[in-house]
Chains A and B, each alone.
Chain A
Amino acid sequence: MDSSIMRELTSDQLKTDIPDFHSGDTVRVHVRVIEGEKERTQLFEGIVIQRKGGGIQETFTVRKITQGIAIERIFPVNSPRLAKIERLREGRVRRARLFYLRGRKGKSARIREKRR
């Protein structure tokens, strides 16, 4: 983003309970879906392939493969529609943007777990 005043003005909408996660991590995102009157939680589980932007405009992209079809979904980090972000696995990666995963599948698309 930009000047300090702009940052300050949107700061009240920033979440404080966001877990620390990076690209390469496997996450489970709890998305609140509102259908008419009803509201339910949908899960989206996959690998974070990028985090982008800053402040209120920050987003992250999660990639998963279901039934042989790859799905990438972009979420705003501070969206009130995200009930929870769970970090399931910490991946060891050497770059911030994991777009190379797009060309791979199966064994070569694995990410090593970070050693603690």
Chain B
Amino acid sequence: MGALIGKKLGMTQLYNDKEELVPVTIVAAGPCPVVAVRTDQSNGYTGLQLAFDEIPERKLNKPQLGHLAKAGITPHRVLREFRGQDGEFEIGQVLDVSQFEIGNNVRVTGKSKGKGFAGVVKRYHFRGKNATHGTPGVQRHGGSVGQGTTPGKVWKGKKMPGQMGNKRVTTKGLTVERIDSDRNLLFLKGAVPGGDNGFILIQST
């Protein structure tokens, strides 16, 4: 089982061994030192806390520095926990892309691009109304939100305008297309959530 924190560098295309052009996302993944190991006995759950992206000491405050110093790790920008890691891990151990192999299936979690307060046409792909034939200025409205006196309310979960994007999204079923262990890079087939330079969590499935 593999887990890493990474940074999305961007998307491009590559030729695979079948000479097909495949879309890939290039991710700068790891190296990630293990900061803490959560166990059933002491924490009630199993997990791993990893750090990523080294930064100067002045960028962190004292509690953050103390937490990392306890594990004997230099200052890092990102700390994230991964649930349910099996296998033996030690504090201070450094995880990198060698955990993955070409062809592995991975799950990538990130923060999607924020779209702001979006209407129902953009947010839920409602079809909207006619542009012509006398539509009275409600081309992108959602229409009716329900029935009348019965049930006399709007059902919970009714699709309406609201915040779109800028939330945690997990993409499953991406495959590792290529690994560059010298430069700590993973080439994943397909798209991962969020914009370029966003932090993402990579887990093998």
**In B5-28, which residues have CB < 8 Å from any A CB?**
9-10, 12-15, 19, 21, 26
Chain A residues with CB below 8 A from B14, complex form: 10, 13, 56
Min Cβ gap A49→B in Å is: 21
A6 touches B19 (CB 8 A): no
**In B44-103, which residues have CB < 8 Å from any A CB?**
none
**A9 on the interface (CB 8 Å rule)?**
yes
Min Cβ gap B179→A in Å is: 12
A56 touches B185 (CB 8 A): no
A6 touches B12 (CB 8 A): yes
Instruction: Give the CA-CA distance A79 to B20 in the complex, in Å.
Output: 8
Residue of B nearest to A80 (CB): B19
B19 touches A56 (CB 8 A): no
Chain A residues with CB below 8 A from B12, complex form: 1-2, 6, 9-10, 55-57
A57 in contact with B13 given A9-B26, A9-B180 (CB within 8 Å): yes
Chain B residues with CB below 8 A from A5, complex form: 9, 26
Residues 102-128 of chain B: 1 if any A CB is under 8 Å from the residue's CB, otherwise 0? 000000000000000000000000000
Instruction: Give the CA-CA distance A81 to B9 in the complex, in Å.
Output: 28
Instruction: Give the CA-CA distance A62 to B141 in the complex, in Å.
Output: 44
Residues 176-192 of chain B: 1 if any A CB is under 8 Å from the residue's CB, otherwise 0? 00001000010000000
| Most chain B beta-carbon contacts within 10 A, residue among A2, A5, A9, A79 | A9
Instruction: Give the CA-CA distance A55 to B10 in the complex, in Å.
Output: 14
B10 touches A3 (CB 8 A): yes
B13 touches A56 (CB 8 A): yes
B9 touches A80 (CB 8 A): no
The 7 closest A-B pairs by CB, nearest first: A80-B19, A6-B10, A81-B19, A2-B10, A6-B12, A13-B15, A57-B13
**In B156-186, which residues have CB < 8 Å from any A CB?**
180, 185
Instruction: Give the CA-CA distance A76 to B20 in the complex, in Å.
Output: 11
A79 in contact with B9 given A9-B180, A10-B14 (CB within 8 Å): no
A9 touches B185 (CB 8 A): yes
Instruction: Give the CA-CA distance A10 to B16 in the complex, in Å.
Output: 12
A76 in contact with B185 given A3-B9, A6-B9, A9-B26 (CB within 8 Å): no
Residue of B nearest to A34 (CB): B19
